């Protein structure tokens, strides 16, 4: 069994390698995907987001749980896909992601443009 940190690390490695199916393999079938444009659920939504955006996320600190099964990660986001269907920054952009892991699976990832209030950080 993987720890939450190992699960989120494996997801990042797959996303940053462009291995969408590898990223999906880290996720619960009903994974919640949230961001500035709203929240939805499922592998198809995660797959679509990763494909359309070509996002790459570079953690800015060592990954650690802020609460059991919760990781609050400061990231540097890069959008690499051609023809991104929404206005994406052209330069690497600071962002925050909150990952929730249960039983070896990523059950939610929420991306924020600013550090979310009410969550502790280990940094």
Q: Are 75 and 58 in contact (CB under 8 A)?
A: yes
Q: State pTM to two decimals.
A: 0.88
Q: Are 100 and 25 in contact (CB under 8 A)?
A: no
Is residue 72 over pLDDT 60?
yes
Tell me the CATH number for domain 4-112.
3.10.450.50
Nearest 10 degrees: CA dihedral of 15, 9, 88, 18? -10
Q: For residue 123, what pLDDT band results from cuts at 50, 70 and 90?
A: very low
The pLDDT of residue 10 is 98
In terms of Cα–Cα distance, which of 57, 89, 92 is closest to 75? 57
Could you tell me the two tokens for 54?
Answer: 């070509």
- pLDDT tens, residue by residue, 17-46: 999 999 999 999 999 999 888 899 999 999
84/86 Cα distance (integer angstroms): 6
Average pLDDT over residues 10-21: 97
């Amino acid at each position: 069994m993987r720890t939450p940190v190992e699960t989120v690390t494996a997801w990042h490695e797959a996303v940053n390698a462009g291995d969408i199916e590898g990223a999906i393999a880290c996720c619960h079938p009903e994974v919640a995907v949230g961001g500035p444009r709203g929240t939805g659920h499922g592998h198809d939504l995660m797959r679509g987001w990763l494909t359309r955006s070509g996002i790459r996320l570079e953690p800015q600190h060592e990954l650690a749980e802020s609460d059991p099964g919760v990781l609050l990660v400061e990231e540097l986001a890069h959008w690499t896909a051609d023809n991104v269907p929404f206005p994406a920054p052209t330069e690497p952009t600071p962002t925050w992601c909150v990952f929730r892991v249960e039983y070896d699976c990523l059950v939610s990832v929420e991306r924020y443009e600013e550090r979310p209030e009410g969550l502790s950080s280990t940094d």
